Structure 1
Amino acid sequence: MVLAPTAQGALLVSGVLAPAMAQERVAVVLDAIQVSADGVTGKRGLSTGSEALPAAVTVIGQDEIARTNVKDFTDLLRRVPGVNAFTYGQGDIGSPIRMRGFSGNAHGGDVAIYVDGVPQNFPSASQGGSGMSDLSWLTPDMIERIEVIKGPFSALYGDQARSGAINITTRTGGASSLSATLGRYGYGKLNGVLVKEGTHGTLFAAGEVLTSEGFRDNSDMTRGNLFAKYTVPLSDGLLSLRGHYYKVSFDSPGYLTLADLRAGIVDPRDANPYAVPLFGDAERYGAVLNYAPRGEAGWNATAYVEHYEKNRTNGGTAPSTNLQSDDRNLFGGRLLHTSRFGDLALLSAGAEMRYDRGDAWNQRYTNGQASGLYTNAYRLELLTYAAFVQGQLKIAEPLKLVAGLRHDRFDYDIDNLKRPAASTTYEASVTTPRIGLVYTPVDALELYANYGEGFRSAGAPEISPQGPGVIPLGSAGGVASGDLRPPKAESYDVGFNARLGPAWRVGASLYTTKNSSEIRETFSGSGVFVPIGDTEREGYEVDVDFVPDPAWRLYGSYGYVRARIKNPPVAGRDLIAGLPDRVAGLGVEYTTPFADGMVRANANYQYLSAPPFYLAGNTPEYAPAWLRYDLRLSYQRGPSTWTLYAILQPKRFASEMTGTSVDPRPRVDGGATYTYTF
């Protein structure tokens, strides 16, 4: 599925260009088959873009972003078929992105996420486990394009790509704007975008200030983001330098148990009554240098430096709590060269390196004072480097072969401050191949099949275990696991995209993934991770778009996954706890001229089936199924746009965070936005 603006500013419906409606600033592309660099449409074309992969891919453009109710980055992924992304409601702590039966490792792991070529997953974070990603610094105004690749089928993305990858490109231009949003529960947001085109280059800058009191008690948050990017032509390409600064402070309500809510012991708006008031703060800043050719052939280069610091209290029983902290500096780069061989083949080869240095610890606080006791404490030097190659070959006009190979190596120095005997160096490597075919018998039908492997790096708590107990630094005991191998996932996938006449588009995929040595959080939000052995996932996804005329669009999707533990640690408990087996979406959009302006309305429905969890015995219990309705109405006239939005979550006690602990959300949320574009 592709949702992106056309250069002509018109509506492209299944390959038919219709006249633009009055004052239409952006357009919607509902065609699954796009023109690639060789002038050939869709997956059969030769292109480094994700649309050319033999895989299920969704591309989200600026128009889709503008039409979405966005309070958090994960809202941008809600309409992607088969994907469930959400926040925990505990402040800016990273967000799960569930895709193809993987849970997102609590805070965004299991999905490789890149922004302008910079990896966003953190190895060995103090919170959220290995691969945690935190995109709170990224606002919708900054984004040009989001590519969601389901399955480990692109060699361009490495660590954490067991369920797939997300590639994000930031903006370089467009219109300047100012906007203000007011919502329920003390929600307020100011956004600004400034675009200045000069004789030598273009400046793009975006800023955000956000405050919120939150639905639940002790949920206040204040956040600021600033982003600037300067782009200049250089040789046959574009050179850009960007910087960002992010700062947040927040209170955290903690989690409530489903049993207490059902018994009426607590109210959904209460903070956790058994814990001290929780809080957190974070600061992040960095710079990125990018070079890209004007076409696809040539050199792409990225270099970056970043500082990341985050503190968050979590868990414990009053008067004690734990302070989780990360203080890291990151450096890295990526180099990619693409060669084109006429209309026959395309070859991309590259390398990347990342160096992560800093501290990650979890310290016990009692009555607001540091106790000198630790759950874990690390000093880390983590070096990762990789080489990769991916090629495309047209075997015959309707048949294309795509193959890739990636080799990643890890050189770690882990200083275990809690149990020094477990300190160790760690050297490991992993090689992951991909191969797939695209067959296009007619222009309106694309068939694909592929095999791919993905992996995630081992985390410091797995390589250098902290052992049980909350104890002082330098305690005795501890044994390192220096021979631990990175867990791999093998995935098989078949699917199709089809246009059925001028108005219909249908896509579907069927997949099987076998994963080795999986480690899971005991329940969402616990921060406790345990090995559960080898797992297997089988599933399918279907999505449909129907555009009967330029004013209307209807869309829907359905995903099912059967996920099982092959040899569960507790016999009989073979279900993966907290994982809904069905996710569905349905939506309608309507656009029409009105009173010298343009009205846009859309309604979106989401459904998650009841997820299982275990309390006692081998019979699973089930959390409530979850429903969400997003409603949005906007009116644009000249440079002004007025928007009303509502978010309805009618199920009592239901939460996207599933298990014995939940984070209740308001049944009715909403607000209004005014935007002035210039």
Structure 2
Amino acid sequence: MPLPIRALALLALPLPAAAQDATVVAHAPLTVEVTGRHYDNAVGTSDAASQGRIRAELLKSRPAQRPGEVLEFVPGLIVTQHSGDGKANQYFLRGFNLDHGTDFATSVNGMPVNIPSHAHGQGYTDLNFLIPELVQRIEYRKGPYFAGSGDFASAGAADIVYRRAFDAPFAQLTLGEHTFRRGVAGGSTPLGHGLTLLGAIELTGHDGPWTVPEGLRKRNGVLNVSGGTANDGWSASAMAYGAQWTATDQVPQRLIDAGTFDGRAFGRYDSLDDSTGGRTARSSVSGEWHRRDDTGTTKMAAYLMRYRLSLYSNFTYFADRAAGDQFSQQDRRTVGGFSASRQFAHQMGGLDARSEIGLQLRHDRARVGLFQTLRRTVAGTTRQDELRETLGGLYGQSAVELAPRLRGVLGLRADALRTRVHALTLAANSGSASDHQLSPKLSLVAGPFAKTEFFFNAGRGFHSNDARGTTARIDPKTGEPVERVAGLVPTRGFEIGARSEALPGLQSSLAIWSLKAASELVYVGDAGATEAQAASRRRGIEWNNRWTIGRHGLVDADFAWTHARFANGDRIPNAVDRVASVAFTLRDWGPWSASLQWRYLGPGALLENNQQRSFPSLTTNLRIGYRLPAALGRDSELTLDVFNLGDRRVDDIQYVYESRLPGEAAPVADRHVHPAEPRTLRLTLRLGF
């Protein structure tokens, strides 16, 4: 690995405390920012009712079973897993089963996480390299209304920002059921001449409740050097991550109902293929520079990443091959990117305005393949391709004070995609393609009136299609002709909303939104082909509430309702109708703190005709924390997390498709499920120095 874990581990040992992290706020509206303890979402701080910022204090208050679940702090977003903790999560937002990330753009420390033309699925978003203790804030926005957001941002986007310094060095150890163990250590120290060094290391192991132990082994490290100030400074980061695991994929409901298989008992946590799973690794270097002067702010950033994945799956068991349907998706790539922007204040027609222009560029060089395998041994090649993919975006937007209580934001984005495919197994699928799109944006913000403001947002966005689909002529599995797909698929959305603080201590927002996609075309990595689906429309309502009770209490209550259909009226499979999250948080009650969260993932159609629907799930998570005496170290704490407190038998994911078991004459259409984990306890000891 280019950035050795051992070196990062040495640099991550507890270091002397450094000064509080200074951060730079981007895309700030022309209003005074009011900062709360957990949120920076007060009236006058955003351009949409569904836009906001989450601070680290809130992230510390609730438990997260997996790193990717930090995104559940984004109102209306639910995160699950259907195949091993080394694989990207499933994400649900605004009527999308986002699969592993399509239509929700995510970045960590300035680097995009979504991977286009990925071996497993378009926009694959693996957040398992995230270290939650490093997160300083999450900035989120929904809908295609923001000029700075490009590919995959139609449903929304989240920028996860790492801190540059710790208040004090720390080390923590977590032990839990099913052999869960996790160790994290981090610290920062001044180097002189205004420089600060930060390091962190994480090691995790987990077998899970599965009959076939997961055997997760994860190694993770971060190193950051920063200098300067919030007005004039820079930072450079190096990250390294690696993981391996054995996965228990979803199993057919008919087998769970029967309770036996091949003469032995069979339950929800059993597996039909004990060799599925995979290994993955990523390493990166990145840097950013910023300067604020009398006329505005300039920013530049660049990154270089290497990524590897070998994924082994078996969802249909014996439907295609007597020896088993296991297949492997493999991805090897190098990714480079650059961005630059300039914000400046000026006059526009005699009105105060603040504008931003920016450039974004990304280039992927990859070798991706789909293989038939038997117990992780390659038995045949379905397809293998070398890819070159370049996406460039140029954008500009201006926020204008039209009146004392009316602000307008007008933006325009231009994107161009260039793909080149060298098909190693089927030369007819080689070729090159290009596409481009203009995306106008408009926002109007009125208020505040009695501590209430109103929003209107509209815009055009897009997601890219897999590069292989843009040059394909022949289906690699069937040999039949296929039509090429467009490189960029446009989306159009609008939203009306309101945010109010009229009642003391209560911040409430309401958004009514609609989003149309010209096509649901996606590259299906499991089949090695592009699957065409119809145009679609989604619309819904989101109601989010933050109620601060005195100095110690906080209530979060988020509710979302969605109506999702194809253009012909059919249901969109796995488009969940309702989601909700309600959490009670108690902070600093003497040495005690606690949180209790209800998390609801509603039902949804599993087939276009709605004849089968998913069952809803309701789970409860609990955290109890106790601050240890100062003699044991600064900010030392003992924390108990309980996941699925009620030990409910619910599923993380449900699908309907055909599979075949030994002894069955033909494939059978059935519900396939991946269960959520049972009640699980984890105990964490954190020591500060």
Query: TM-score range with shorter-chain normalisation?
Result: 0.7 to 0.9
Alignment of 1:384 with 2:378, yes or no, is no
- Give the conservation status (yes or no) of the 8 Å contact 1:378–1:415: yes
- Give the conservation status (yes or no) of the 8 Å contact 2:122–2:522: no
Alignment of 1:547 with 2:525, yes or no, is no
Instruction: Give the deviation of 1:674 after TM superposition.
Output: 0.6
Question: For 2:450 and 2:32, how far apart are their aligned partners in 1?
Answer: 10
- Give the conservation status (yes or no) of the 8 Å contact 2:339–2:358: yes
Q: 1:352 corresponds to which letter in structure 2?
A: Q
- The residue number in structure 1 matching 2:307 is 308
Q: 1:299 corresponds to which letter in structure 2?
A: T
Unaligned runs of 5+ residues in structure 2 are: 1-19, 21-25, 36-40, 656-670
Structure 1 50/260 Cα, relative in aligned 2: closer, same or farther at 3 Å? farther
- The residue number in structure 1 matching 2:206 is 212
Does the residue aligned with 1:507 lie in a helix, a strand or coil? strand
Alignment of 1:248 with 2:243, yes or no, is yes
- The residue number in structure 2 matching 1:6 is none
Q: 2:333 corresponds to which letter in structure 1?
A: R
Q: 1:420 corresponds to which letter in structure 2?
A: A
Mapping 1:394-405, distance limit 5 Å = 394-405=401-412
Mapping 1:207-606, distance limit 5 Å = 207-218=201-212, 219-233=214-228, 237-265=232-260, 267-273=266-272, 275=273, 277-293=275-291, 297-315=296-314, 316-317=317-318, 318-341=323-346, 344-366=352-374, 368-371=376-379, 373-442=380-449, 444-465=451-472, 467-468=474-475, 470=477, 481=484, 484-519=486-521, 530-567=531-568, 574-594=570-590, 598-606=591-599
- Deviation by residue 1:365-412 (Cα, 9 ceiling, x = unmatched): 2354322x2233110011111111121110011000011111111111
Query: Which residue, out of 622, 633, 649, partners 1:631?
Result: 622
Mapping 1:176-195, distance limit 5 Å = 176-195=169-188
- The residue number in structure 2 matching 1:4 is none
Q: 2:291 corresponds to which letter in structure 1?
A: P
- The residue number in structure 2 matching 1:571 is none
- The residue number in structure 2 matching 1:12 is none
- Give the conservation status (yes or no) of the 8 Å contact 1:142–1:227: no
Structure 1 419/231 Cα, relative in aligned 2: closer, same or farther at 3 Å? same
Question: For 2:523 and 2:605, how far apart are their aligned partners in 1?
Answer: 14
Instruction: Give the deviation of 1:50 after TM superposition.
Output: 11
- Deviation by residue 1:529-587 (Cα, 9 ceiling, x = unmatched): 6322111111001012222311222221110000001127xxxxx11111210001111
- Deviation by residue 1:188-245 (Cα, 9 ceiling, x = unmatched): 0000111112322111111100000112133220001100110012895111110000
Unaligned runs of 5+ residues in structure 1 are: 1-25, 27-33, 569-573
Structure 1 302/184 Cα, relative in aligned 2: closer, same or farther at 3 Å? same
- The residue number in structure 1 matching 2:64 is 70
- Give the conservation status (yes or no) of the 8 Å contact 2:331–2:369: yes
- Give the conservation status (yes or no) of the 8 Å contact 2:335–2:363: yes
- Deviation by residue 1:37-89 (Cα, 9 ceiling, x = unmatched): 8662479xxx9x99422341132211111112123233212243221222224
Question: For 2:161 and 2:528, how far apart are their aligned partners in 1?
Answer: 31
Instruction: Give the deviation of 1:364 after TM superposition.
Output: 1.1
Q: 1:340 corresponds to which letter in structure 2?
A: A
- Give the conservation status (yes or no) of the 8 Å contact 1:556–1:587: yes
Does the residue aligned with 2:130 lie in a helix, a strand or coil? coil
- The residue number in structure 1 matching 2:197 is 203
TM-score by length of 1: 0.86
Alignment of 1:149 with 2:141, yes or no, is yes
Instruction: Give the deviation of 1:414 after TM superposition.
Output: 0.7
- Give the conservation status (yes or no) of the 8 Å contact 1:276–1:321: no
Question: For 1:236 and 1:460, how far apart are their aligned partners in 2?
Answer: 40
Question: For 1:359 and 1:453, how far apart are their aligned partners in 2?
Answer: 32
Q: 1:280 corresponds to which letter in structure 2?
A: G
Structure 1 286/41 Cα, relative in aligned 2: closer, same or farther at 3 Å? closer
- Give the conservation status (yes or no) of the 8 Å contact 2:553–2:587: yes
Question: For 2:565 and 2:269, how far apart are their aligned partners in 1?
Answer: 35
Does the residue aligned with 2:87 lie in a helix, a strand or coil? coil
Question: For 1:413 and 1:304, how far apart are their aligned partners in 2?
Answer: 22
Q: 1:335 corresponds to which letter in structure 2?
A: A
Q: 1:556 corresponds to which letter in structure 2?
A: A
Does the residue aligned with 1:91 lie in a helix, a strand or coil? coil
Q: 1:66 corresponds to which letter in structure 2?
A: K
- The residue number in structure 1 matching 2:10 is none
Mapping 1:3-152, distance limit 5 Å = 40-41=32-33, 51-104=45-98, 106-127=99-120, 129-152=121-144
Structure 1 294/527 Cα, relative in aligned 2: closer, same or farther at 3 Å? farther
- The residue number in structure 1 matching 2:676 is 665
Question: For 1:319 and 1:226, how far apart are their aligned partners in 2?
Answer: 38
- Give the conservation status (yes or no) of the 8 Å contact 2:434–2:487: no
Question: For 2:255 and 2:268, how far apart are their aligned partners in 1?
Answer: 13
- Give the conservation status (yes or no) of the 8 Å contact 1:627–1:651: no
| RMSD of equivalent CA atoms | 2.9
Structure 1 50/322 Cα, relative in aligned 2: closer, same or farther at 3 Å? farther
Q: 1:108 corresponds to which letter in structure 2?
A: G
Q: 2:623 corresponds to which letter in structure 1?
A: R
Question: For 1:238 and 1:249, how far apart are their aligned partners in 2?
Answer: 38
Structure 1 479/579 Cα, relative in aligned 2: closer, same or farther at 3 Å? closer
- Give the conservation status (yes or no) of the 8 Å contact 1:94–1:132: yes
Percent identity over paired residues: 21
Does the residue aligned with 2:459 lie in a helix, a strand or coil? strand
Question: For 1:109 and 1:120, how far apart are their aligned partners in 2?
Answer: 11
- Give the conservation status (yes or no) of the 8 Å contact 1:319–1:367: no
Does the residue aligned with 1:242 lie in a helix, a strand or coil? strand
Q: 2:467 corresponds to which letter in structure 1?
A: A
- Give the conservation status (yes or no) of the 8 Å contact 1:118–1:302: no
Question: For 2:528 and 2:63, how far apart are their aligned partners in 1?
Answer: 29
Higher alpha-carbon deviation: 383-392 or 546-555: 546-555
Q: 2:190 corresponds to which letter in structure 1?
A: E
Question: For 1:670 and 1:285, how far apart are their aligned partners in 2?
Answer: 32
- Give the conservation status (yes or no) of the 8 Å contact 2:433–2:471: no
Does the residue aligned with 2:219 lie in a helix, a strand or coil? strand
- The residue number in structure 2 matching 1:655 is 651
Instruction: Give the deviation of 1:149 after TM superposition.
Output: 0.5
Instruction: Give the deviation of 1:108 after TM superposition.
Output: 1.0
- The residue number in structure 1 matching 2:667 is none
Does the residue aligned with 2:96 lie in a helix, a strand or coil? coil
Instruction: Give aligned pairs, total.
Output: 623
Question: For 2:83 and 2:54, how far apart are their aligned partners in 1?
Answer: 25
- Give the conservation status (yes or no) of the 8 Å contact 1:533–1:565: yes
Question: For 2:482 and 2:566, how far apart are their aligned partners in 1?
Answer: 27
Question: For 2:242 and 2:610, how far apart are their aligned partners in 1?
Answer: 45
Structure 1 448/367 Cα, relative in aligned 2: closer, same or farther at 3 Å? closer
- Deviation by residue 1:4-50 (Cα, 9 ceiling, x = unmatched): xxxxxxxxxxxxxxxxxxxxxx9xxxxxxx9968662479xxx9x99
Structure 1 423/635 Cα, relative in aligned 2: closer, same or farther at 3 Å? same
